[in-house]
Structure 1
Amino acid sequence: MYIPSQFEQPNIEVMHELIRNRPLATLVTLGSNGINANHIPLHLSSTPEPFGVLRGHIARANPLWRELAADVETLAIFHGPDAYISPSWYATKQEAGKVVPTWNYAVVHAYGLLRIIDDAAWIRTQLEALTQHNEAAFPESWAVSDAPEDFTEKLIGAVVGIEMVVTRLIGKWKVSQNQPSQNQRSVIEGLNARGQSEAVTMAALVNAGVKNVR
């Protein structure tokens, strides 16, 4: 991934936070038929340090686990908030008109070797951890144990576990750091004015960047 220095995110904790908040990964693997991409929710454990481990599961019918190339690095892409940035928002537009549209986004790339785990007890533990994490915000959270055991055992038999110890973690936060302060402020105003959840979230990221350089 191309990362100009001003967009590089070196903070592991910040990258981990994005992964936890947006766990649906684009999992890129190499198999017998070439490059493949699957969209899999992955649960992050911060140990082993420094980058942690990602765990999830896939359908047993998914050929990924049978066709995975051995000893070839896997890439998991976690997509953070993104938003179109209109040049009409830039304060400097009135001065010279030398402005163009762009797209702001935050993304994390996690690399490592993918391990296949075909073990019912491991899969149950992984399902419980993933469910607990994603249900935590609900007032009445659902647990795996809420479903009949024979029902869950049948479903567990239909999936295969996957695990990746992260060996490289790369973050890119393209959040208007390359713009002068007056444009950053007007971008925040423009994003907030849209009122959309993703735009408001991006406005907060741009604002955090502004505060960090003061």
Structure 2
Amino acid sequence: MYLPAHFEENRVEELHRIITEFPFGALVMNGPNGLDANHFPFMFDVQAGGQGKLLAHVARNNPVWQDACDGDDVLVIFRAGQAYVSPNWLPSKHEEHRQVPTWNYQVVNVHGKITIRDDARFLRGLLARLTRTHEARMGEAKPWKMGDADPAFIDGRLAEIVGIEIDITKIVGKSKLSQNKDARDRAGIVQALRARGEDDTANAMLNT
């Protein structure tokens, strides 16, 4: 990833926030048929030691778990807020006419080594954690839980999936949020983004 120093994201808490709040990642691996990407939600286990682990599950019919060998190097890409930035939002443009369009965004590339976990206990625990995490965000008075479903039904669905565990070896983040602009131009961008409902990117700019 091209990473100019002024856009490099080194704050561990921000890297973890992006992975946690935007968990739908792209798993990139080099399998027997060349490069491939698969997309699914991940759980980030920061307590697992080292730099943590990424946990996910895939359909048993998805060949990704058969194409990977335990210990293979993989890459998972997480993307947070992103937005087009118009020169018209920058006060300096109207004075000097020396601005061009750009794109603001945050991304995190997680490098690691993959392990295939084809066991019901691992999967049951993973799905319970995924469910608790995302149901809690819904604000329901009575969040759905695995125990609400018929046990035989859950057992059948568990048999249809395979687990993935990735030991993280490196996390590289980029926050391209107009850090190379002056304060009033940044303020103009934030105001315009908020007016368009691009709050993720606007908030990230304010916190950078």
TM range (shorter): over 0.9
Q: Are residue 121 (structure 1) and residue 121 (structure 2) matched? A: yes
Q: In the alignment, which residue of structure 2 is the partner of 1:107?
A: 107
Q: 1:165 to 1:75 in 2, by over 3 A?
A: same
1:169 matched residue in structure 2: 171
Task: Report the 3-state secondary structure (helix = DSSP H, G, I; strand = E; otherwise coil) of the residue aligned with 1:61.
Answer: coil
Q: CA deviation at 1:69?
A: 4.6
For 2:36, the equivalent position in structure 1 comes to 36
TM-score, length-scaled by structure 2 = 0.95
Deviation at 1:48, TM superposition (A): 3.1
Query: Does residue 201 in structure 1 map to residue 177 in structure 2?
Result: no
2:204 matches 1:192: no
Residues 50/6 of structure 1: CA separation in 2 closer, same or farther (3 Å cut)? farther
Q: Secondary structure at the match of 1:95?
A: helix
Q: Hey, what's the Cα distance between the residues in 2 that align with 1:188 and 1:50?
A: 36
Aligned length: 206
TM-score, normalising length: structure 1? 0.93
Q: What is the distance in 2 between the residues matched to 1:126 and 1:188?
A: 38
Q: For 2:207, what is the secondary structure of its paired residue?
A: helix
Describe the SS at the equivalent of 2:39: strand
Mapped partners of 1:50, 1:40: distance in 2: 23
Specify the code of the residue in structure 1 equivalent to 2:189. Answer: V
Stretches of 4+ aligned residues off by more than 6 angstroms: none
Conservation of the 8 A alpha-carbon contact between 1:60 and 1:158:
yes
Give me the identity figure in percent.
36
| Contact 2:8–2:173 (8 Å) recurs in 1 | yes
Deviates more, 1:200-209 or 1:21-30: 200-209
Tell me which amino acid in the other structure corresponds to 2:107. V
Higher mean C-alpha displacement, 50-59 vs 65-74: 65-74
Note the residue ranges of structure 2 that are not aligned, 5 or more in a row: none
Amino acid at match of 1:2: Y
Name the amino acid aligned to 2:206. Answer: N
